């Protein structure tokens, strides 16, 4: 039996491949940017307009019944400067999110995501909260 990939680069490549395959399966014309310095991983040609997708791998949080993914990147310290976090607003249009735990793909608009960590709820909240919940099923593709 093959071992599952443990490093984050491999996990990211798997996520990108699965998101891309799902988009192609749905009939989208997809483009892959050349190089690694882009703030998006896939682009969709939507009639001459590019829709930029940043791929993210979601973790399943069983206790809370949510999927969680990072909506920002942390840049390490350079020359004594503190760590900085940067989101994707203005540089990507959607997060293409893959959950290896439940094998589903989601498209979440970047502009609808506050903060640096996003939760997509799969099950009812234990406290019956309804307001402000992002239901995973609303973003599944």
Q: What angle do CA 100, 106, 112 make, to 5 degrees?
A: 130
87-137: pLDDT as tens digits? 889 899 999 999 999 999 999 999 988 878 889 988 876 666 666 678 889
pLDDT in the model for residue 116: 84
**pLDDT tens figures, 19-35:** 999 999 999 999 999 98
Rounded Cα distance between 16 and 56, Å, is 8
Answering whether pTM is above 0.95, one says no
- Given a cut of 80, is residue 78 above it in pLDDT? no
Is residue 3 very low, low, confident or very high in pLDDT (cuts 50, 70, 90)? low
Percent of the residues in the chain that have a pLDDT greater than 90, as a whole number: 50
- Domains in the chain (CATH in brackets) are 8-138 (3.40.1350.10)
Strands annotated E in the chain:
30-31, 42-46, 49-57, 59-61, 66-70, 72-75, 84-87, 94-99, 104-109, 117-121
């Amino acid at each position: 039996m093959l071992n599952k990939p443990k490093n984050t680069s491999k996990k990211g490549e798997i996520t990108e491949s699965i998101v891309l395959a799902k988009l192609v399966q749905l009939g989208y014309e997809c483009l892959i940017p050349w190089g690694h310095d882009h703030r998006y991983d896939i682009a969709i040609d939507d009639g001459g307009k590019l829709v930029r997708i940043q791929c993210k791998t979601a973790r399943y949080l069983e206790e809370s019944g949510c999927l969680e993914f990072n909506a920002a990147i942390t840049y390490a310290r350079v020359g004594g400067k503190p760590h900085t976090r940067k989101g994707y607003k203005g540089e990507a249009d959607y997060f293409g999110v893959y959950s290896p735990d439940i094998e589903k793909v989601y498209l979440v608009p970047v502009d609808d995501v506050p903060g640096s960590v996003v939760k997509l709820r799969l099950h009812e909240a234990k406290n019956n909260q309804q307001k402000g919940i992002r239901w995973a099923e609303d973003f599944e593709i």
